Amino acid sequence: MALVDVNNFYVSSERAFDPSLEGKPLVVLSNNDGCVITRSAEAKALGIPMGAPWFQIAEQAKAWGLQARSSNYELYGDMSARVMEVLGRHTTDLEIYSIDEAFLTLGGTHREQRTTGRTIKQTVQRNTGLPVCVGIAPTKTLAKLANRWAKGNTRLDGVCHWELIPAGQREALLRRLKVTDIWGVGARSAARLNALGIDSAWDLTQADPVVIRKKFSVVLMRTVLELQGTPCITSNESTGNEQVMFSRSFAHPVSTPEAMRQALSVYAQGAASRLARKDLQGRVLTAFAGTSPFSTGTRSSPSICIPLPVHTADPLELTRAAHGLLPLIEEGVSYIRAGVIITDLQPVGTQDSLLNLELGSGDDADPEGGRAGAKDTGPLLHEISRRFGRSSIGLGHAGLRAGSEWTMKRDMLSPHYTTKWADLPVVKA
């Protein structure tokens, strides 16, 4: 099992099309240019912490030579798709874990696998301009550790095969790592493990899986077994598919139900796109909005939970459900955020999918609410958005290009180098 991870993905994507950023401190900012969410190595060396509010460091940026970019989600999404396409050439079993990570099943001997890892690293760099590290191991948990080691040890040149590392060195690494450094071990579990004298990753590796199951859970028992070299984490369990959320803060407050309708339409269809990307469907939709906790005016945090008739990723169905929040929106109240959460997820093609197809087989209906003929709408919208950018298509209110003053502020946005014709880079020879 190999884990391929793009190094400093957002920063690397920006540098791939703007070489002038190489070697310079660079940060990428969150929605509305609020906080630092990604830092280059040079920015970290300046002592800029993760989550630092931009307004606090903006004045010093020029003196530091610090460059900042707004989050270019269209660019990052397309670059991610390009990386995954390259990875898919090297395996018959590709599992996309996140926007910048994927698991691959590799065949051959250990040394052949390491050679394949080096080929993957070189090919991704050559074809996309993005640097990656590769961790190879018998299990996903160990592959995560191997990938971490590949990033932290320059002698490995970005590729680490766990079983080709001497046993003594592996033990030394595990003894240095805390249990919270292990994939899937949270702070609460760590505190309980520490109380049992299990402080390091090595301690957890030596634990009895049966005892761990009795005192904690099957999930943590599987982590122990994975650390011991027994594969236990399946594709569905490793994708973190407990929920899908699409939430944003507004650049300018929303104070009318009509403006909130448009925002909810965009967010519901964004959630539908994420479901389509993961081949998932959901049964429960929660829509919410909120005013600022520091507001001196009326404060309001309405939310509504809506069970759906069947598991679905249909953007029409999800949009109609999200609009169930509108009766709770107060005219004149300044809302600064809203979002949609989809839960009770399952893979496409299981249980009530046949019922879902039946419900989607009727006559045409309202574009913001009907089920008719819409079983393929979600994947279609996702594919168009992936190829041509998020704003290229939308249903109903989500298709409007004007009147969305609430959309997030991105004053330092780089060009959409790969998704807009007008932004295509020009090379002069």
Q: Which domains does the chain have, with CATH numbers?
A: 110-228 (1.10.150.20), 244-347+390-398 (3.30.1490.100)
Both structure tokens of 326? 């509108």
The predicted pLDDT at position 362 comes to 40
State the number of CA atoms in the 13 A half-sphere of 362 facing the CB. 9
The predicted pLDDT at position 204 comes to 94
Residue 136: what residue type?
Answer: I
Confidence of residue 299 (pLDDT cuts 50, 70, 90): confident
Residues in the chain, total: 429
Residue 140: what residue type?
Answer: K
Residue 356 has pLDDT above 90, yes or no: no
State the number of CA atoms in the 13 A half-sphere of 213 facing the CB. 7
Which of 213, 207, 233, 237 lies closest to 138, judged by CA? Answer: 233
pTM: 0.69
Residue 39 has pLDDT above 70, yes or no: yes
Dump pLDDT digits (tens) for 384-424: 666 665 555 656 655 554 445 556 677 888 998 888 888 88
Which of 31, 14, 26 lies closest to 248, judged by CA? Answer: 31
